[in-house]
């Protein structure tokens, strides 16, 4: 059987491949065949991720009872440590935070953040982290210049041999080019051009471009281009692309992606006018938080440590430890995965959503910090933990705030949709070359009607 597309999601624990055809009706509408899907353990630790990729393809071939071929193969990856980024800016609540938001939205894992002029100890930490990319920010346009130039000089002297993104004060561009001459350098629009203004989308786009160019250098990924003849994106960045497509269809939404190593939350919403009026710092419309300590397999021990009596019910922490599997099959293993997933969702939403505080002293009232989700209409679940085991809808419904007082959590009217075919990452990378097909794939997987 020959298909139009084969898309691989190479995760930290499992590799999922999705095969499908694109059909265009005589009225110009785009549809997708019901996709075939195969799954295998990721083999990055064996030094060759294509072993697991081929095993997942063999599972499809076993199901369809014939050889599978394809025109285009695309991929997303969070294996080999994902897209590790260090961020260096001027002030924590301004340029540093803006660069951090851009990196997270592109699918990065932030391993280090510095504000102000860097120290020699910071350079040692970068060496130890061995990041996939370094981001230098600092200064609003035509504002402070010296910090970014100083940091660029220090980084240049170390010869890290890593892609460097500069997204600070535009007045520094020519000097940055001279300082970092010979490096793989990307110079883009300032992520914080004016006070209280975020501009993260240009940075997100270039971060993903640099990732695709350099992913073949990651351990175990060197052979990936032998099979993939299309785009490669960081898996979280691809999920964010799908979230933005779904926003155009559904309106304000939040997406949970619970995986074996991390739990990501993506929200696309501007929030309510009430919260905007009391918000202390600007928030991006499309925001991602990544909880690198919350995973249902690789980082399950962290979730177990966070569990209390109310989480455990009639079972013990030891029971959960004994039934942790990368792909749960038995009833006890599935039950343990459900409990871990529930805890991951609860902790991740608490870390993603903002807070409201009462003002004391002079003028009474409230102030808000962080992301407002109160206008969210849809809560979406993707990732193996929420889509492959039972009870995903119930777990996501549990994050809603059911009372009437002011909140930044999703309200009781929010509905839940599940990525039933586990294709949000696949659709995200597909959208780079065929956005209409990506939209059709998402609508099919989430059972979204045309008239919604």
Residue 449 lies in a domain: no
Mean pLDDT of 167-175: 97
Of 208, 226, 244, the one marking the end of a domain is: 226
Q: Give the residue numbers spanning the domain of 183.
A: 83-217
pLDDT reported for residue 140: 95
Q: What percent of the chain has pLDDT over 70?
A: 97
The count of structural domains within the chain is 3
Residue 441 lies in a domain: no
Judge if 71 and 109 occupy the same domain: no
Of 190, 217, 244, the one marking the end of a domain is: 217
Judge if 176 and 316 occupy the same domain: no
Distance separating alpha carbons of residues 214 and 207, to the nearest angstrom: 11
Helix or strand or coil: residue 427? Answer: helix
Residue 138 lies in a domain: yes
Judge if 244 and 378 occupy the same domain: yes
Per DSSP (E only), the strands in 325-452 are: 355-359, 365-369, 378-382, 415-418
Judge if 192 and 257 occupy the same domain: no
For the chain, what is the mean pLDDT? 91
Residue 64 lies in a domain: yes
pLDDT reported for residue 81: 66
Judge if 75 and 87 occupy the same domain: no
Residue 428 lies in a domain: no
Residue 440 lies in a domain: no
Judge if 75 and 88 occupy the same domain: no
Closest CA to 207 of 228, 179, 237: 237
Mean pLDDT of 258-269: 92
Closest CA to 140 of 170, 115, 166: 170
How confident is the model over 308-319, as pLDDT tens digits? 999 999 899 999
Between CA 110 and CA 243, with CA 368 as vertex, the angle to 5 degrees is 50
How confident is the model over 396-407, as pLDDT tens digits? 999 999 888 889
**Strand ranges across the sheet with 286-291:** 286-291, 263-268, 253-258, 378-382, 415-418
Residue 447 lies in a domain: no
How confident is the model over 34-46, as pLDDT tens digits? 778 999 998 988 8
Q: Which residue has the tokens 């009474």?
A: 364
Judge if 71 and 103 occupy the same domain: no
How confident is the model over 183-242, as pLDDT tens digits? 999 999 999 999 889 999 899 889 888 888 888 777 788 888 889 999 999 888 999 999
Number of neighbours of residue 265 by Cβ within 10 angstroms: 23
Judge if 249 and 398 occupy the same domain: yes
Q: In this model, does residue 450 exceed pLDDT 80?
A: no
Query: Please, are residues 253 and 267 in contact by the beta-carbon 8 Å criterion?
Result: yes
Closest CA to 421 of 9, 4, 106: 9
Judge if 88 and 199 occupy the same domain: yes
Q: In this model, does residue 363 exceed pLDDT 90?
A: no
pLDDT reported for residue 327: 81
Distance separating alpha carbons of residues 54 and 411, to the nearest angstrom: 44
pLDDT reported for residue 94: 87
Per DSSP (E only), the strands in 105-248 are: 108-115, 133-136, 164-166, 185-187, 232-234
Judge if 396 and 260 occupy the same domain: yes
Of 206, 226, 246, the one marking the end of a domain is: 226
What CATH number corresponds to the domain at position 63?
3.30.420
Residue 26 lies in a domain: yes
pLDDT reported for residue 80: 64
Judge if 90 and 74 occupy the same domain: no
Judge if 270 and 283 occupy the same domain: yes
How confident is the model over 112-136, as pLDDT tens digits? 999 999 999 999 999 999 999 999 9
Which run of H or of E encompasses 120? Answer: helix 120-129
Q: In this model, does residue 292 exceed pLDDT 90?
A: no
Write the CA distances from 204 to 157, 191, 234, 257, 391, integer angstroms.
26, 10, 11, 19, 34
How confident is the model over 59-91, as pLDDT tens digits? 999 999 999 999 999 999 887 667 889 999 999
């Amino acid at each position: 059987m020959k298909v139009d597309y084969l898309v691989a999601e190479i995760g930290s624990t499992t590799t999922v491949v999705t095969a499908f055809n694109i059909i265009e009706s005589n009225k110009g509408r785009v549809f997708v065949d019901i996709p075939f899907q195969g799954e295998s353990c990721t083999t990055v630790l064996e030094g060759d991720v294509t072993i697991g990729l081929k095993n997942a393809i063999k599972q499809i071939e076993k199901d369809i009872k014939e050889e599978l071929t394809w025109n285009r193969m695309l991929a997303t990856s969070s294996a080999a440590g994902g897209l590790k980024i260090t961020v260096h800016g001027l002030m924590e609540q301004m340029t540093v935070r803006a660069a951090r938001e851009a990196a997270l939205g592109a699918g990065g894992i932030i391993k280090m953040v510095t504000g102000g002029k860097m120290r020699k100890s910071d350079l040692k930490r970068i060496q130890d982290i061995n990041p996939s990319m370094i981001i230098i920010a600092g200064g609003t346009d035509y504002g402070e210049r010296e910090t970014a130039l100083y940091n660029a000089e220090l980084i240049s002297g170390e010869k890290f041999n890593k892609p460097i993104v500069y997204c600070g004060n535009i007045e520094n561009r020519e000097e940055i080019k001279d300082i970092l001459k010979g490096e793989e350098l990307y110079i883009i629009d300032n992520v914080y051009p004016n006070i209280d203004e975020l501009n993260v989308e240009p940075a997100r786009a270039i971060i993903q471009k640099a990732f695709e160019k350099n992913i073949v250098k990651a351990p175990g990924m060197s052979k990936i281009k032998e099979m993939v003849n299309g785009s490669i994106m960081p898996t979280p960045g691809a999920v964010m692309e799908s979230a933005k497509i779904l926003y155009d269809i559904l309106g304000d939404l939040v997406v949970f992606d619970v995986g074996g190593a991390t739990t990501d939350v993506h929200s696309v919403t501007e929030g309510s006018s009430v919260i905007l009026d009391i918000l202390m710092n600007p928030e991006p419309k499309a925001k991602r938080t990544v909880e690198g300590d919350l995973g249902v397999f690789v980082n399950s021990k962290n979730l177990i440590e966070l569990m209390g009596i109310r989480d455990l019910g009639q079972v013990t922490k030891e029971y959960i430890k004994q039934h942790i599997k990368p792909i749960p099959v038995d009833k006890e293993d599935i039950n343990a995965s459900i409990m871990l997933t529930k805890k991951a969702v609860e902790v991740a939403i608490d870390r993603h959503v903002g807070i409201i505080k009462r003002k004391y002293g002079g003028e009474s009232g409230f102030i808000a910090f962080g992301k407002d989700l109160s206008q969210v209409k849809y809560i979406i679940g993707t990732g193996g933990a929420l889509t492959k085991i039972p009870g995903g809808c119930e777990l996501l419904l549990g994050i809603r705030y059911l009372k009437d007082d002011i909140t930044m959590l999703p309200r009781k009217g929010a509905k839940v949709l599940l990525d039933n075919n586990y294709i949000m990452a696949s659709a995200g990378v597909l959208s780079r070359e065929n956005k209409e097909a990506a939209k059709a794939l998402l609508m099919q997987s989430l059972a979204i009607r045309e008239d919604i």
